[in-house]
Amino acid sequence: MTCREKLFASMETPQPAREGIQLSQIDNDTSRPEAEADHAVIIKIQASVPETLGNTQHGTANGHHTLLLMINYAFLFVGSVSASLISKFYFIHKGDSRWVSTWVQSAGFPILLLPICLPYCLFRSDQRRPFTGFTLRISLLSVIVGVFMGLNNLLFSWGTSYLPVSTSSLVLSSQLAFNLILSMILVKQKANFTNLNCVLLLTLSSVLVALGSSHDRPPGLTRSDYVVGFLSTLGAGLLFALYLPVMELIYRKVNCYGMVLEMQLVMEMAATVLATVGMAASHDGFSVMKVESTRVFDKGSTAYWLTVGI
């Protein structure tokens, strides 16, 4: 059997058998003139096979990461748009509890148990047990960030209850400036003239439009209420801008996507606990939701629970 025949025969065998094939088996044919050339070709091919397999696996992993990233972007876009519209729908139709509006923004956290537990418990497609490697430090950081998320939700609810959706959205866009500044400080993000120019123009235009949009104020809204709504929305934008670079720092210690979901679960749980405590302290709890659904909300009980549930 020639050197090339031995090479291709070895490539058709299973991986363990291929690893056992030594170049000494081919060196026996060195008496032939082309043996040295064949030997060099074999070395190049054997060296390139692991690299090729590694590149293929790396490309597959990148494809999976891109798919997960696009899914997260889609959920973020839909959630951001729908949250503003549904919250405003609640307040327009005589819903009046800011704590209820805050509570429903994070109370859906049990849904995250499905993507966390199902791959391991049901499909056996994940070798990692849920919450493996979830250290005390990561747990404490998740709880602290979750509390700040609860405060952000409360400020967002206050702003939405007073400001029109258009004004609230414009004021929230001021988080671009906060985000750029905090990213430069916390994660050493480099800023160039183009980024600074875009952020400056968008922020100034948003603030000017928001301050000059008195024509779309809801009836009966006083100037003091408008200022409270404006400052609350501005504070929500600041907290969210702080959340992004802080999470980037925390995610550097995270080694898999499952742990990201587990951190989100803990953060949303902490935000829900904060909102629940606020509801109990202000006597604005679930009994108020029942009264609102039957006597206050002008679209009826079914529409109320759909609005709160969504």
pLDDT reported for residue 47 = 52
Q: Please tell me the predicted confidence (pLDDT) of residue 125.
A: 62
Per-residue pLDDT of 2-11, as tens digits, reads: 444 544 444 4
| 130 falls within a domain | no
pLDDT in tens, 74-106: 888 888 778 888 888 888 888 888 898 999 889
Instruction: Give me the pLDDT at residue 67, please.
Output: 84
280 vs 81, higher pLDDT: 280
More confident residue, 66 or 205: 66
**pLDDT: is 248 or 5 the higher one?**
248
Mark which of 86, 113, 128 sits at the end of a domain: 86
Residue 256 included in any domain = yes
Residue 128 lies in a domain: no
Regarding whether 178 and 60 lie in a shared domain, the answer is: no
Are both 72 and 186 inside the same structural domain? Answer: no
In the predicted structure, residue 213 carries a pLDDT above the cut 60: no
Domain that holds residue 45: 1-86
Same domain as 179, residue 41: no
Distance spanning both ends of the chain, measured CA to CA: 71
Whether residue 65 is found in the same domain as residue 155: no
Domain count across the chain: 2
End position of a domain, from candidates 25, 54, 86: 86
Q: Is residue 96 part of a domain?
A: no
Percent of the chain residues past pLDDT 90, beyond the cut: 12
Whether the per-residue pLDDT at 291 is higher than 50: the answer is yes
pLDDT digits (tens, 9 = 90+) for 145-173: 999 999 999 999 999 888 887 778 777 87
Tens of pLDDT, residue by residue over 300-310, are 888 888 888 77
Any long-range contacts for 252-261 (C-beta under 8 Å, 24+ apart)? 253/138, 254/138, 255/133, 256/128, 257/68, 258/116, 258/119, 258/126, 258/128, 258/130, 259/133, 259/134, 259/138, 261/112, 261/115, 261/116
Confidence band of 211 (pLDDT split at 50, 70, 90): low
Domain assignment present for residue 95? The answer is no
Domain termination site, one of 46, 68, 86: 86
Q: At what angle do helices 301-309 and 35-92 cross, to 10 degrees?
A: 150
| 210 and 299 both lie in a single domain | yes
pLDDT band at 61 (very low <50, low <70, confident <90, very high): low
Q: What is the mean pLDDT of residues 141-147?
A: 93
71 and 167 fall within a common domain: no
Question: Does 111 fall in a domain?
Answer: no
- Region 171-198: mean pLDDT is 80
Instruction: Judge if 164 and 234 occupy the same domain.
Output: yes
Mean pLDDT of the chain: 77
Long-range contacts of 282-285 (CB under 8 A, 24+ apart): 282/99, 284/97, 284/99, 284/100
Point out the least confidently predicted range of 44-53, 72-81, 159-168, 225-234: 44-53
Does residue 212 fall inside a structural domain? yes
Does residue 127 belong to any structural domain of this protein?
no
Same-domain check for residues 78 and 146: no
Angle at 154 between CA 263 and CA 69, to 5 degrees: 35
- pLDDT at 28 > cutoff 90: no
298 and 175 within one domain: yes
Is the same domain home to 169 and 264? Answer: yes
Q: Are residue 78 and residue 216 in the same domain, yes or no?
A: no
**Which pTM value belongs to this model?**
0.73
Q: Are residues 80 and 145 in the same domain?
A: no
Q: Please give the pLDDT value at position 6.
A: 47
> Between 300 and 32, whose confidence is greater?
300
Which residue would you say has higher pLDDT here, 290 or 23? 290
